């Protein structure tokens, strides 16, 4: 099965069941043998754990990408998602994956189990989509945001970007823009 189709099915199942059911990694990896890591939800976020404190790097990336896509669509809400979903999936999501892979590559394998993704994007006009953080220190590692831009004499754009702790969140790392319309977009998470 094509990777984008697998990802779409996983996200769809997760959204329709409000995250209570997520397809197994056997489905994700076309029934190949995979390490089974336990997932546990905490009040502060999604935490990846395993019995020996070693987490497979690719498995962690895959799980974070599923959660990133799910939270992105949750942030967009029912009014924005149908308009930008295809462009987001084709243009922005692969760049989010690159940023996550670069970030996770900077951590030793034994520290991967302490990385987690926040559970809830922010609504209204706030920029936060999700953050990846260290559960032990509670410090954000990388913050993924989307901002509404409205250049003079032009329509509205959604500017996707991220910030990292490695430069103290000062640099604006651009992921891309998606055009909305001349009209003001609805607030995030609008139903």
Residue 20: pLDDT band with limits 50, 70, 90 = very low
Specify if 3 maps to a domain. no
Provide the number of structural domains found in the chain.
1
pTM: 0.71
Specify if 34 maps to a domain. no
- Would residue 77 be called left, alpha or beta, if left means φ above 0 and alpha means ψ between -120 and 50 degrees? left
User: Which of 49-63, 76-90, 111-125 has the least mean pLDDT?
Assistant: 49-63
Specify if 133 maps to a domain. yes
Which residue, 121, 109, 87, is CA-closest to 35? 109
Specify if 66 maps to a domain. yes
Helices 57-87 and 3-16: crossing angle in degrees, nearest 10, is: 80
Predicted confidence (pLDDT) per residue in 119-154, tens digit = 889 999 999 999 999 999 999 999 999 999 999 889
Specify if 177 maps to a domain. yes
Phi, psi of 19 (to 5 degrees): 80, 0
Specify if 7 maps to a domain. no
Domain that residue 98 falls in? 40-181
Which residue, 52, 31, 64, 53, is CA-closest to 133? 64
Specify if 48 maps to a domain. yes
Specify if 135 maps to a domain. yes
What is the structure's pLDDT at 35?
A: 34
Q: What is the mean pLDDT of the chain?
A: 80
């Amino acid at each position: 099965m094509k990777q984008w189709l697998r990802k779409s099915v996983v996200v769809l199942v997760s959204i329709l069941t409000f995250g209570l059911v997520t397809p197994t990694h056997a489905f994700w990896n076309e029934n190949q043998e995979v390490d089974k890591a336990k997932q546990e939800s905490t009040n502060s976020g999604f935490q990846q754990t395993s019995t020996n404190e070693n987490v497979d790097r690719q498995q962690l990336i895959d799980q974070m990408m599923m959660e990133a896509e799910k939270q992105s669509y949750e942030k967009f809400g029912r009014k924005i998602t149908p308009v930008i979903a295809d462009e987001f999936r084709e243009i922005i999501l692969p760049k989010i994956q690159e940023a996550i892979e670069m970030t996770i590559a900077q951590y030793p394998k034994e520290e991967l189990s302490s990385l987690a993704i926040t559970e809830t994007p922010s609504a209204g006009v706030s920029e936060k989509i999700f953050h990846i953080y260290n559960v032990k220190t509670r410090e954000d590692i990388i913050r993924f945001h989307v901002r509404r831009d409205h250049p003079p004499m032009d329509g509205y754009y959604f500017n996707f970007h991220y910030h990292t702790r490695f430069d103290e969140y000062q640099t604006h790392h651009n992921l891309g823009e998606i055009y909305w319309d001349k009209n003001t977009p609805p607030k995030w998470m609008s139903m």
